[in-house]
Amino acid sequence: MKAPKQWRVRNQRLGLVGEVCPHCGAKLFPPRDICPECSGPAKESFAFSGRGEVYSFSTLYQPPAGFEKYAPYTVALVRLEEGPLVTAQLTDVDKDQVRIGMPVEMVTRKLGEEGEEGIILYGYKFRPLLQSA
């Protein structure tokens, strides 16, 4: 992802900000101009809690170009508490410990580097939910 685009989607990538449809109440992530549920305009920002559970997952051993140094890594579909499914890398967990239904929470982590200067790009990943004391 190029640095200008990273800047434009920083709220989405760093704070898990989507939208809520003012017509039907559907929570949308990523943000969209039109609600897929009712076809109405969806322009109201909505900050997701960042909590959810693993809906499905896969470990990548042959990653796409640019991600070879991170392999193997696990990517999951996470069902957020508010409803939407989000695709994200899992972190802070061994691939053998991941299971469907595992509670997770969003964290901000390094996604990669860009350009000769090595600009670091950050975004969301999910880790196992930490139990509060």
The confidence score (pLDDT) of residue 65 equals 86
pLDDT in the model for residue 97: 95
Give me the helices (H) in the chain, please: 3-8, 10-15
- Res. 2: pLDDT tops 60: no
Interval 75-118: pLDDT, tens:
999 999 999 999 999 999 999 999 999 999 999 888 877 767 77
Query: Cα 116 to chain center, whole Å?
Result: 26
Residues 62, 15, 27, 100: what is their CA dihedral angle, to the nearest 10 degrees? 40
What's the pLDDT score for residue 133?
43
Cβ atoms 66, 87 nearer than 8 A? no
